[in-house]
Structure 1
Amino acid sequence: MNLYQVLFELIDMRSFSNLWYWIMLAVMWSSASHWVLGVPFDMISRARRQGGTLQDDLETLVRINTGRMLYIARTAGVWLVAFLCFMLTALLVLAVYYRIEFAQAVLFLLVPMTILSMLSLRTAGLIEAGESAGEALHRRLIRHRIATQALGMVSIFVTSMFGMYANLYIGVLG
Structure 2
Amino acid sequence: MPGAEAILALLDSRSFGSIWFWVILTLAWTMAGRRSLGVPSDVIAAAGRGGAGAEDDPAALTLLDWLSLTLPRWQLGPREGAVLLGIGAFLVSTLAVLGFGYGLEMAQALVLLILPFAGLFALDLRLARRLGAVLARAEIGQPVNEAGAEAARLLRHHRRVGLAISVLSVAVTAFYGAAWMLAHPYGF
Q: TM-score range by the shorter chain?
A: 0.7 to 0.9
Deviation digits for residues 21-74 of structure 1 (CA, Å, limit 9, x no counterpart): 11111111111111111111122123334684443222122133222211x354
Q: Under a length normalisation based on structure 2, what TM-score does the superposition of the two structures give?
A: 0.79
Among 106, 113, 120, the residue aligned to 2:117: 113
Large movers: runs of 4+ above 6 Å:
none
* Match runs of 1:80-99 below 5 Å: 80-99=84-103
- Asked whether the equivalents of residues 14 and 187 of structure 2 are also in contact (C-alpha less than 8 Å), the reply is no
Deviation at 1:172, TM superposition (A): 6.8
Aligned to 1:5: none
Percent identity of paired positions between Structure 1 and Structure 2: 31
2:63–2:148 contact (8 Å) kept in structure 1:
no
Q: How does 1:132-147 map to 2 (within 5 A)?
A: 133-147=147-161
- Matched ranges for 1:11-160 at <5 A: 13-49=13-49, 52-70=57-75, 72-130=76-134, 133-160=147-174
Partner SS, residue 15 of structure 1: coil
Aligned letter for 1:40? P
Which structure features the higher share of helix residues?
1
Q: What runs of 5+ residues in structure 1 fail to find an aligned partner? A: 1-7
Asked which structure has the greater CA Rg, the reply is 2
What is the CA distance between 1:130 and its match in structure 2? 2.7
Unmatched runs of 5 consecutive residues or more in structure 2: 1-8, 52-56, 139-146
**How far 1:75 moved relative to its partner?**
4.9
Paired amino acid for 2:80: A
For residues 170 and 39 of structure 1, do their structure 2 counterparts lie closer, same or farther at Cα, with a shift above 3 Å needed?
same
Task: State the alpha-carbon separation in 1 of the partners of residues 118 and 187 from structure 2.
Answer: 33
Task: Kindly provide the amino acid, as one letter, of the partner of residue 27 in structure 1.
Answer: L
